[in-house]
Amino acid sequence: MAAYLCPPAVIHGEHTVKTSQIVEEVRDRHPNATWAPRVDGIAASTGIDSRGWMLPLETAVAPGSGNGLRAVGVEPAQEALAREGFSGQDVDRVIAALESVPGPQTVQERTAPAWEAVQAYGERAARGALQIAGLDASDVDCLITSHSTTPALPGLDVALANRLPLREDVMLLPATQWACIAGTRSLALAADLVAADPDRVVLVVISEALSTTYQPADDTLESLIVRLLFADTAVAAVVTGRRRRESVLRLDAAWHHTLPGTQDLHRLETRADGTHFVMDRRGPRAVQETVTAMWEWLRVRYEDHPGSWHPDVLLAHPGGTRVLEYMEQTMPEEWPSGLLDYSRDSYTSGNRGGAAVFDILRRAHDAGLQKAGNRAVLYAAAPGLTATALDGEWL
């Protein structure tokens, strides 16, 4: 399966949003929420002090262009008030009051500016990855893209084909629903593509505006956690079938796993006011099952080296720190500590979804501590519940 990966380009959201700003916003908006007395502790438990967004917090919490009557309409509201015995004068007063109340943003108002940012950030990441790899846009044979919170057709693949621009015969492979697994699964697909044609050059671009799931009106505990977790990031990397001077990691094997009956644990729902990320509290335990399955894959893969093999670095995006703790608790006792340090470091500035593994890889590369021959395992889990891992060697 040998495929060669160049260092990724990582573009963080340029608008810094502090956790203290989010706490202040939700406390003011939902003073009577059941979790309100615990909001400071909940925020601190994430371990995230700030995160970068493609758009400022003010954009996410701004009211829509419509008013409180948008959903029902003026005439139905007038008829309903009249049926309740309101006088004509009172009806006029109520309607005037409702018309002065700003309504929430629509899905279009939430998504349109984020989609523009996703394209712009994706282009910057793509150009950065090509520059790192010493290649031009004309060298790309295949483009794999992912963006899960900004639905669009055509998508990021066609947008980048025009923006870069790419050759007209480039294979475009969009994967908008990979979400958190986009990093590892795109690399597995790219490895298969270059295995079929070693001269093929594959460009992977993942651009996620996860801040679009910030829904001011939601008052559930899960919604609070979503507000606190996500960051916006665009990443890109070049995968080739032949080693290049710029290559830093050889990908040797891929593993895929889907857990039946877990499709409702994490999901995106598109409603009138935009995209909502819905989480079930059973989610982390389900992710843990995929971790256990990955350990078994690695055990079988290296069963001829009992007790002597271990990865030198784990680049893992399991969705949160709870599962990172589970990974540390369940990995073989003889494995060294600190394998997940770069993963933990990435989480201190937010959950980057599909862009996370590339960000973690970049941190490991920039640290300069990996030596040629070191073994690396990349892992990610996503709504589904599905997971993909890769085993490779540092070059």
Residue 180 bears catalytic tag: yes
CB 52 within 8 A of CB 21: no
Question: Packing angle between helix 74-83 and helix 88-100, nearest 10 degrees?
Answer: 140
Please name the residue ranges forming H helices in 197-340: 221-229, 283-301, 321-330
Alpha-carbon gap, residue 145 to 176, rounded angstroms:
7
From the candidates 129, 180, 189, 315, give the one annotated as an active-site residue: 180
Asked if 145 and 161 count as a contact pair (C-beta separation under 8 A), the reply is no
Helix (H, G, I), strand (E, B) or coil at 383: coil
| Segment holding 75, helix H or strand E | helix 74-83
Specify the DSSP element, H or E, that contains 236. strand 233-240
- Which residues are bridge partners to 50 per DSSP? 18
Structure tokens of 38? Answer: 């615990």
Alpha-carbon gap, residue 25 to 129, rounded angstroms:
37
Instruction: Report the relative pairing of strands 171-174 and 142-146 from DSSP bridges.
Output: parallel
Our CA angle for 114, 116, 122, nearest 5°, is 100
Euclidean distance between CA atoms 381 and 184, whole angstroms: 9
Selection from 354, 319, 368, 381 nearest residue 7 by Cα: 368
Q: Does residue 239 contact residue 5 with C-beta atoms inside 8 Å? A: yes
Catalytic annotation, residues: 180
